[in-house]
Structure 1
């Protein structure tokens, strides 16, 4: 049967930067879990949001993390702001972790107790 991991979260930033993130997603297409990304049909307002949600086998997590790291490392906008985001990752065995997209990298830390209800 295998071990499953729930990955849910978002990335936010300028529309040009999110268009670059979409290019990363297309280039790193995963036939199984790549469909978890949700991009808006058109830009609106000043900041855009891109969402991701999927239940995946443990073996798919490393590929998703590699993709997310490429997105985090995209060049900042003209004002020097990188894309930012937050992902909650619930592993069936290891529990929850929090992946923070900021400063051009993905910071991984133990999950916050307040979000444990998502694993119920």
Structure 2
């Protein structure tokens, strides 16, 4: 038996040979050193490459982005956390904005229809403006 006969645990991917052999988590999975195991990324996280580095967060791209499933493999899996938002752009440049006629409510963290006597004509993450 030699070091070349060593195999990685299930789900791990093997890189290298001999003493340089590494067991890495696949994309969409995060390494847990305390368990020497991989777990799927959680909602809000993604990991697009093979390796044992920590996941990236959708909220680092835009505060209102998340993933809604486990095992996300890239920033393209990030989507707006609330259905009232409109997703503009994709991946690392994605933004969640409020459509025209709705304003951003920081308490609800969602886009809400402009109240009577206010308006918002543009796609933006802004409050409604009072009519003049």
Does TM, normalized by the shorter one, top 0.5? no
Query: For this structure pair, what is the TM-score category when the shorter chain's length is used for normalisation?
Result: under 0.3
Which has the higher Rg, Structure 1 or Structure 2? 2
TM-score, structure 2 length as denominator?
A: 0.23
Higher helix share: 1
Per the normalisation by structure 1, the TM-score is 0.25
Q: Which has the higher strand share?
A: 1
